[in-house]
Amino acid sequence: MIDLSVRDGIARLVLNRPDKLNALTAEMCDMLAARCREIERGTARVVILSGAGKAFCAGGDIEAWAGETPEAFGDHWVRDGHAAFDALARLTVPVIAQLDGHALGGGLELAACADLRIAEQHIKIGQPETGLGIIPGWSGTQRAVRRFGAQVVRRMALFGEVFDAEEARRLGLVDHVIATGAAHVLAEDLAARVLSRGPQATKLTKMLINAADREDPERIAEALAGRIAAGTDELREGLSAFREKRKPDFS
């Protein structure tokens, strides 16, 4: 239900549950987290995220969460969804969200995890959750506020405003609006731009931007320091000494 293919440095991540407009179940969240781990360990240098069929994503699966007990909802539904969305937002390679269909509720929150959003002109974007008696979850009041600003989130989440693509672009919810059917072409162009740039510099830059954007800055600091430490003669000497059962010589 979450497909991944990687070719020529581009990972294509596709929500594939078109009959339910790609509404996300707990199982799909787990798959998303697993797919992000695969991407992180693989050769992809940029990700294009899209939805199969006519929607990008119509949010969390209403039937699935409506059936949860309050405890289960608060525990695994929230926790597992956050783990998946965090994994996506914290990939070290850039992520492009290709919105060739509506992005509502969890769909908007998922798109917020990307570094760039392309919307086809016919799509709608919003946060209908309070109209269903639930809060915008999976960081819909946190990451969404950080990335888009509090006022536009207020308009969607508190007043139920749903924006068309052009208005969404004006408000900073999406970066580019393009004719219906053309989002994949622009996504490929933008992915090619990423591929033409320095891969390590791009990764490091994304990590720094994520740290500034409060995407787990402690882990990023450790990851950057770890990269430096792992490249030193000091480590090589420490490991040699361990294997040769002698005291290390750090002079």
User: Which residues in this chain contact ligand COA in the complex, by CB under 6 A?
Assistant: 20-21, 23, 58-63, 102, 104-106, 128-129, 132
Of residues 104 and 178, the one with the C-beta less far from ligand COA: 104
State the sign of the Cα–Cα–Cα–Cα dihedral 77, 114, 196, 199: negative
Of residues 51 and 105, the one with the C-beta less far from ligand COA: 105
Where would I find the beta strands (DSSP E) of the chain? 2-7, 10-15, 46-51, 95-99, 103-104, 116-120, 124-126, 162-164, 176-178
Going by their DSSP bridges, the two strands 176-178 and 116-120 should be labelled as parallel
Q: CA–CA separation, 139 vs 7, rounded Å?
A: 31
Residue 100 Cβ vs ligand COA, minimum distance, rounded to whole Å = 14
Residue 229 Cβ vs ligand COA, minimum distance, rounded to whole Å = 43
Residue 61 Cβ vs ligand COA, minimum distance, rounded to whole Å = 4
Q: CA–CA separation, 216 vs 92, rounded Å?
A: 12
Question: Which residue is closest to ligand COA by CB?
Answer: 105
Residue 23 Cβ vs ligand COA, minimum distance, rounded to whole Å = 3
Among 109, 167, 237, 244, the one annotated catalytic: 109
Contact 172, 163 (CB under 8 A): no
Respond yes or no: is residue 109 known to be catalytic: yes
Of residues 51 and 128, the one with the C-beta less far from ligand COA: 128
Going by their DSSP bridges, the two strands 124-126 and 162-164 should be labelled as antiparallel
Among 38, 40, 68, 129, the one annotated catalytic: 129
- Quote the distance between the C-alpha of residue 221 and its chain's center: 20
Of residues 142 and 202, the one with the C-beta less far from ligand COA: 142
Question: Any idea which residues carry the catalytic annotation?
Answer: 109, 129
